[in-house]
Amino acid sequence: MPKISVKEIRKVAKTALVQHGALDWISEEVADAVAASESVGNRICGLYYLESYCEQLLSGRVNGQASPDVQLARSGSVFVDADDGFAQPAFSKGLPEVLKLAKTNGIASLSIGRAHTCTSLGYFTKKIAEAGFLGLGLTNASPIVAPPGGKSRIIGTNPIAFSVPDGNGGVAMQFDQSTTTVALGKITMAKAAGESIPEGWALDKDGKATTDPEEAIKGTLVSAGGYKGWGFGLMAEILVAGMTGGRISKNVAPLKAKDGEPHNLGQFYIIIDPASGASFYNRLEELTAIISSEEGTRMPGQYTSPQIEVDVPDGLWNLAVSLSEAKHSG
């Protein structure tokens, strides 16, 4: 398994996207997200998605020539029409505007509509925190989760991410997680590797616990904490579909399917200026110190440093390079 620099991953990913028809600036935004995921070991949202991006650029399921349209919906909210394109460039266009509103009002929201799947939500909320604001992000996905006690797929893994600024341009805390016990990608990767999955991750099509990833993919995933995770998943579903106009999960086709209609998903963010609080950084420092005082404990995301080189499986890296050498642009 070769060690590849994150810089090289970014370069290869960008070239692959350009070669499959995406504009240069759009490819730059998406490649940065791919590389950032790889730098923190999140392969599910990194190179694992590159082939799908390229295939869907060719099929037209994602618009590589998109022109995101930023709209000031109200005095405290920004809406970006992603034009059936990638979420990353749409977010990039809308972020400066929503930060201005959050600074003025203390809080603001950013809605991204008609977008492709955003993969790692934490990539986006981290950018909000690095700008000095608290960022809460939510999105939905293709249906794979049944209500507790049910068997029908209703909602997606519906991730939630939350990032907290440290007051110095960094991130004091971050979590980025699906509202299911595990992300769907963990199960598809287990299937590809011929491995079983732990009991408690998924149910088969008959609603029975399974350790077979193939049966899990035919069935449903389990909400984290049962009814508690189901509630958070529904919260994400309602806020995202309702505030962005995106599809509800039930109407979203499998995200990595080569052909079909654009994803038409939404991402919804709440941005808060910590200066609105009476003593935000004092309380954050106090809480961090208490948590860190016990050996082996930490704030989520604390001490996490992106790597400059990462291990990439030979087959995956060879695929990425071959995608970058393809001649489909134009």
Q: What is the pLDDT of residues 247-286, one digit of tens each?
A: 999 999 999 999 999 999 999 999 999 999 999 999 999 9
Residue with tokens 């106090």: 286
The one-letter code for the residue type at 98 is V
CA distances from 127 to 40, 92, 161, 320 (A): 15, 10, 12, 26
Checking if the pLDDT of 169 tops 90, the result is yes
Q: Which residue has the tokens 């003025």?
A: 104
By 3-state DSSP, what share of the chain in percent is helix, strand and coil, each rounded to 5?
A: 40, 20, 40
Residue 1 pLDDT more than 90?
A: no
| DSSP of 216-230 | HHHSEEPBTTTHHHH
Rounded mean pLDDT of 60-81? Answer: 96
pLDDT given for residue 79 in this prediction: 98
- Confidence band of 184 (pLDDT split at 50, 70, 90): confident
Region 35-46 average pLDDT: 95
Beta 107-115 vs 265-272: how paired, if at all? antiparallel
Identify the pLDDT of residue 253.
92
Q: How confident is the model at residue 7 (pLDDT cuts 50, 70, 90)?
A: very high
Q: Among 17-21, 76-80, 158-162, 291-295, which stretch is predicted with the lowest mean pLDDT?
A: 291-295
For range 13-42, the mean pLDDT: 97
Q: Which two tokens stand for residue 289?
A: 């110190």
Region 151-170 average pLDDT = 96
CA distance to 75, 79, 140, 268, per residue, from 101 (Å): 7, 12, 25, 15
Mean pLDDT for 55-77 is 96
Q: Say what the pLDDT of residue 143 is.
A: 96
Q: What is the mean pLDDT of the chain?
A: 95
pLDDT value at residue 329: 47
The strand ranges marked E within the chain are 3-5, 69-74, 77-85, 107-115, 134-139, 160-165, 171-177, 202-203, 209-210, 220-221, 265-272, 309-311
- Per residue in 148-169, is it b (16+ CB within 10 Å) or e — as a string? eeeeebbbbbbbbbbbbbbeee
Q: How confident is the model over 87-99, as a mean pLDDT? A: 98
Is the pLDDT confidence value at 330 over 80?
Answer: no
> Left if phi > 0, otherwise alpha if psi is -120 to 50, otherwise beta: which for 176?
beta
First to last CA, the chain: 34
Cα torsion 194, 144, 38, 263: sign: positive
DSSP 145: B
Cβ-based neighbour number of residue 9 at 10 Å: 25
Which position has the higher pLDDT, 2 or 168? 168
Six-digit token pair at 53? 């991006």
Count of all residues that appear for the chain in the document:
330
What structural domains does the chain harbor?
65-180+223-306 (3.30.1370.60)
Range with lowest mean pLDDT among 59-73, 122-136, 225-239, 301-315:
301-315
